[in-house]
Structure 1
Amino acid sequence: MTSTLAIVGAGGAGAAAAYALRDDPVDVTVFEKSRGVCGRAATRRKDDCIYEYGANYLKDDDERVTELVTETLPSDGLVDVEAPIYAFERDGDVGEGRDSDEHKWTYESGITQLAKRLFAAADATVHNGVRVETLDRDAGGWRVFDAEGTDRGHYDALLLTPPAPQTADLLGEAAWDHDDCRDLRQTVASVPYRTVVSGMLHYPFELDVPWYAAVNTDKAHDIGWLAREECKAGHVPEGESLLLVQMNEPWSVANYDAHPDRILDEIAQRTARLLGDDRLTDPDWTDHQHWRYAQPEDTVDRDALAPAADHDLYFAGDWVASEPRLHAAVRNGLDVGERIGADY
């Protein structure tokens, strides 16, 4: 007998969970509020450029995920960013960072390929542009309603993968009897998140620097991360530069609601000062993204989530994983998907 599972969120964890269930008798339906997949590992295209504006790449810190990406899934167009990551502190002096042999994986057509390839191999139905807002638990499983109040179906089990604050909101709106999980919503809501404003700055020339990215290690500079998309094969035409600049949290929180033109001008000015290049004050085109819940700064107590499985409710994502990274979210999705397969 085939069981049914609803997954809320088509990010790395949700896609990995669906993939893990591909050979199990579980009918998987995925609801994703945005038009694309892969969540905060996101890709855009503009003027012949392809760029990641959230998670920049997939680290090779998990053997199973690395094997999945490099051997099991189609690996055509897989890109390993070979240039190093440098570091800087409050004084803005960019210098060599720690030595690392880690691979930094993405795809020529963008990191969203990770979720696309997982879903292509999974037997799942994905509904984009659907914001799940209300959940109703009964003796037979879960009923899912969207933001318009439309009944999206009844499922034997439910997997929630949005960022912890949004998951906590869903739990707060859910109708279910859960005396043994009374503190569950509070536990989920307590996971701290970092807010990040990202700016993308394009130039008709290529920077002459030896690094792919520079990271602020003391968290005392307005810029937290600066990366060169031209270091990724297939992303930027030759002779051009496209910088992804992610601002540190205090700056991002203070400027979150400012006009985008002012935000991007401020980002360009700070980038020019950091790199000592006045040309960078005048990009020929820009883009931006605000991430209210960019990255968890801690992970949840997974033991506190365990009783929810007795209510056919599961959780996955970077806030549930061993560390708040994309590779860990994918591994967590695989593990949770396998557990669901075993339970049903």
Structure 2
Amino acid sequence: MTDVGIVGAGAGAAAAAFVIDRTVPEADVTVLEKSGGLCGRAATRRHDDLTYDYGANYLKSDDDRVVELITETLDDEGLVEVTEPVYTFDVDGAVSPGRDADEHKWSYRQGLTQIAKRLFGRTDATVHRRTRVETVRRTSAEDAWELDDADGETHGPFDRLLMNPPAPQTAELLRTAEWDDPLRETLVDAVGGVEYGSVWTAVLRYPFELDVPYYALVNTDKEHAVGWISREECKAGHVPDGETLLVVQANGAWSTEHYEDDPAGNVAALADHAADIIGDDRLADPAWTDHQGWRYALPEAGVDGGPVDSARDAGLYLLGDWVAGEGRLHAAIANGLDVGERVAYRI
């Protein structure tokens, strides 16, 4: 039997676990996830009668394998499509039609986390939540990998190790890894060189429905404090009829500058910006709010593929949108499918 360990339970990890389990059913897959949720930045919360995706906003249909996976291979019950277009706005807040290149914009009635839940649910993988990996170790005697968590428990040995955290967190685990191989330093340099943009998100609820023709607004010149505003009521089952729930995401520079500021002040500032951009003063006074900061939200570029490829010879696989080189949910899933296939082939 082959033992596979996976650090992180993001969408890429879920896709890789699905492929490994489907292709090599005798493999034993163990997943260690530091948080209580699944699917990484494709995150969903529920509050009273609300469901909202407050990280990644939707899954786009830019990869045929991902489309087939979501619409045919997995159960498509509860899959919902946003049909309203995405408009743009500039640094002055002027809104214009003109960006709706996505063929499909999908979520689920229960939110985007359904992607990872359904993928893992189709496997025999053991998923340990709230388990933070602190030490990665290469055991020379068994030529395998072990993981120590924050509670002092050791997991493994694993014949193959997959690492799905954002690049800075993966780089830190590799930097402190007990792995006596020159490749480790080269890999640390490559992974640590991937730059990220932060995103600070406000979620704003209103007891009225907006009369606008779009699902979302995106700042194309990247000069406004706000980078994205979307309406969760455009996703069936997310928001009660007659209400509005805005997801307002600040741009990278604003998010970095205000990341540690008082959350209430950040929410108020983003609500004011939303009111100005949409042109409705009522939006400055939401009835209920939520927020979340994503320090490592969007990779600016991909990782140098040479060291990543070389690491596979040691049974180490890196995966995620930062490996794919595109900070989008479909890219993370597609990369997970690729990595799962590579692992299965080697097994």
TM-score, with normalisation over the residues of structure 1? 0.98
1:338 is aligned, of 333, 336, 341, to 341
Q: Identify the residue that residue 106 of structure 2 maps to in structure 1.
A: 105
Q: Identify the residue that residue 38 of structure 2 maps to in structure 1.
A: 37
Name the CA distance, whole Å, in 1 between partners of 2:99 and 2:145.
48
Which one-letter code corresponds to 1:69 in the other structure?
Answer: I
Name the CA distance, whole Å, in 1 between partners of 2:41 and 2:325.
18
Q: Identify the residue that residue 52 of structure 2 maps to in structure 1.
A: 51
Distance apart, 1:155 and its partner CA: 1.1
TM-score, with normalisation over the residues of structure 2? 0.97
Identity %: 56
Q: Describe how 1:1-344 pairs up with structure 2 within 5 A.
A: 2-23=1-22, 24=24, 25-139=26-140, 140=142, 141-344=144-347
Change (3 A) 1:70 1:246: same
Distance apart, 1:26 and its partner CA: 1.5
Name the CA distance, whole Å, in 1 between partners of 2:185 and 2:260.
35
Contact in 1 for aligned 2:174/2:184 (Cα 8 Å): no
Distance apart, 1:324 and its partner CA: 2.2
Name the CA distance, whole Å, in 2 between partners of 1:31 and 1:287.
27
Describe the SS at the equivalent of 2:94.
coil
Which one-letter code corresponds to 1:163 in the other structure?
Answer: P
Distance apart, 1:182 and its partner CA: 3.0
Q: Unpaired segments of 5 or more residues in structure 2?
A: none
Distance apart, 1:181 and its partner CA: 4.2
Distance apart, 1:322 and its partner CA: 4.6
Describe the SS at the equivalent of 1:166.
helix
Distance apart, 1:230 and its partner CA: 0.2
Name the CA distance, whole Å, in 2 between partners of 1:264 and 1:322.
31
Describe the SS at the equivalent of 2:264.
helix
Distance apart, 1:303 and its partner CA: 2.4
Name the CA distance, whole Å, in 1 between partners of 2:223 and 2:211.
26
Distance apart, 1:152 and its partner CA: 2.2
Contact in 2 for aligned 1:5/1:157 (Cα 8 Å): yes
Change (3 A) 1:246 1:101: closer
Name the CA distance, whole Å, in 2 between partners of 1:117 and 1:284.
33
Contact in 2 for aligned 1:19/1:123 (Cα 8 Å): no
Contact in 1 for aligned 2:87/2:216 (Cα 8 Å): yes
Contact in 2 for aligned 1:18/1:123 (Cα 8 Å): no
Contact in 1 for aligned 2:61/2:102 (Cα 8 Å): no
Which one-letter code corresponds to 1:15 in the other structure?
Answer: A
Describe the SS at the equivalent of 1:340.
helix
Describe the SS at the equivalent of 1:237.
coil
Name the CA distance, whole Å, in 2 between partners of 1:182 and 1:100.
41
Which one-letter code corresponds to 1:294 in the other structure?
Answer: A
Name the CA distance, whole Å, in 2 between partners of 1:275 and 1:101.
22
Name the CA distance, whole Å, in 1 between partners of 2:327 and 2:275.
30
Contact in 1 for aligned 2:206/2:286 (Cα 8 Å): yes
Question: Residues 5-44 of structure 1: CA distance to partner in whole angstroms, max 9, x if unpaired?
Answer: 1000111000000000113031100000111100000000
Question: Residues 258-283 of structure 1: CA distance to partner in whole angstroms, max 9, x if unpaired?
Answer: 11111111111111111121101110
> Which deviates more, 28-37 or 179-188?
179-188
Name the CA distance, whole Å, in 2 between partners of 1:122 and 1:335.
17
Q: Unpaired segments of 5 or more residues in structure 1?
A: none
Distance apart, 1:302 and its partner CA: 1.7
Name the CA distance, whole Å, in 1 between partners of 2:82 and 2:197.
25
- The CA RMSD over aligned residues, in Å, is 1.0
Name the CA distance, whole Å, in 1 between partners of 2:324 and 2:88.
26
Describe the SS at the equivalent of 1:21.
helix
Contact in 2 for aligned 1:26/1:341 (Cα 8 Å): no
Name the CA distance, whole Å, in 1 between partners of 2:264 and 2:183.
50
Name the CA distance, whole Å, in 1 between partners of 2:183 and 2:205.
53
> Which deviates more, 68-77 or 256-265?
256-265
Change (3 A) 1:322 1:290: closer
Name the CA distance, whole Å, in 2 between partners of 1:298 and 1:123.
34
Distance apart, 1:311 and its partner CA: 1.4
Which one-letter code corresponds to 2:9 in the other structure?
Answer: A
Describe the SS at the equivalent of 2:28.
strand
Question: Residues 88-121 of structure 1: CA distance to partner in whole angstroms, max 9, x if unpaired?
Answer: 1101111102342510111011000000000011
Question: Residues 151-197 of structure 1: CA distance to partner in whole angstroms, max 9, x if unpaired?
Answer: 12321111000000000011011101112443110100100100010
